[in-house]
Structure 1
Amino acid sequence: MTVLRTVARPMLASMFVVGGINSLRHAKALAPAAQPVSDALAPLAPQLPVTPTNVVRAHGAISLLGGLALATGRFPRLAALLLAGNLVPTTVQGHKFWTESDPAARSNQQVHFFKNLSMIGGLLMSTLDPDPHKKILVRRAKDKVVEAKDTVAAQISR
């Protein structure tokens, strides 16, 4: 792993680790904000106990585990993709600056909305980060096709 990855991945992951711990510790206090998400998810999984508190706990667990995976370089692309997906409902539901009438509250929510949006962008960019020891999946697939083509061409030319 390069020095940049050694430093950048934990820096990007730090907010998710801290936020995940906070969500797990204070799930009941954060639950009212998750009510709309819970209401939307409940019909999709009627067999599961989809409550606002459980939604906050699941969000916290994904943030914590994804953040730790990204920080340590374990499945970093998958972790970044999961974190980006997990951050979307928080951004849309939690920072509705467009509904705020108070200018100070609107400005605060707008800052958090765009901070989250930039974090999603950083996470999506890191899903494309080629690990120096392992090529990105698309490149590995292309290499296999080229290798197979070369093998067939060598067999035909014999």
Structure 2
Amino acid sequence: MTVVRVCARPLPASTFIAGGADAVRRPEHLAPAARPVVDALSDLPGVPARTVNAVRLNGGVQAASGLLLAAGKPPRLSAAVLACTLLPVTWAGHRFREAEDEGERTQQRIHFLKNLSMPGGLLMAAPADEDGHHLLP
């Protein structure tokens, strides 16, 4: 494994550790944006009925997976889990097309695009498996 990959893993992980811990501690400030997504997914198994619990669950998964990725324990799995947690977060939190204020729309579009780029960075930071296969070819 290259030195670059070892150094690269903690960088995206830090965002998930901090954001996930904040979501666990204070889910109320994220719950209004998350409510439409939680309502849409509430019929799926494992999705909590209460929005604050869904926000806490996603935050806990992000914080734990971020810590694992930063520590390099199992980096492929933790990177993949983190990439998956971005789907509901991006869908719920960065609805730039619905923003009426141009400045807010611009900020939400920036965050939306940042969230789209994060899975690529996460998957590139994950090392190859024992057979030399990467998550991304």
Same fold (TM over 0.5): yes
- Runs of 5+ in structure 2 lacking a partner? none
Q: CA shift at 1:63, angstroms?
A: 0.5
Q: CA shift at 1:48, angstroms?
A: 6.6
Structure 1 length as normaliser, TM-score?
0.76
- Give 1 or 2 for the bigger CA radius of gyration: 1
> Amino acid of the residue matched to residue 41 of structure 1?
L
How many residues are matched? 134
Structure 2 length as normaliser, TM-score?
0.87
| Superposition RMSD in Å | 2.0
Residue 66 of structure 1 corresponds to 65
1: CA distance between counterparts of 2:115 and 2:47? 28
Alpha-carbon displacement from aligned partner over 1:98-146 (angstroms, at most 9, x marks no partner): 111211001000110111111122123334x326xx33458xxxxxxxx
Residue 33 of structure 1 corresponds to 33
Which structure's relative contact order is higher, taking Cα pairs within 8 Å and 6+ residues apart?
A: 2
> Amino acid of the residue matched to residue 11 of structure 1?
L
Q: State the identity %.
A: 46
Residue 3 of structure 1 corresponds to 3
User: Does 2:23 align with 1:19?
Assistant: no
Moved over 6 A (4+): none
2: CA distance between counterparts of 1:93 and 1:28? 14
Q: CA shift at 1:87, angstroms?
A: 0.5
Q: CA shift at 1:40, angstroms?
A: 1.7
Alignment of 1:133-152 (within 5 A): 134-136=130-132
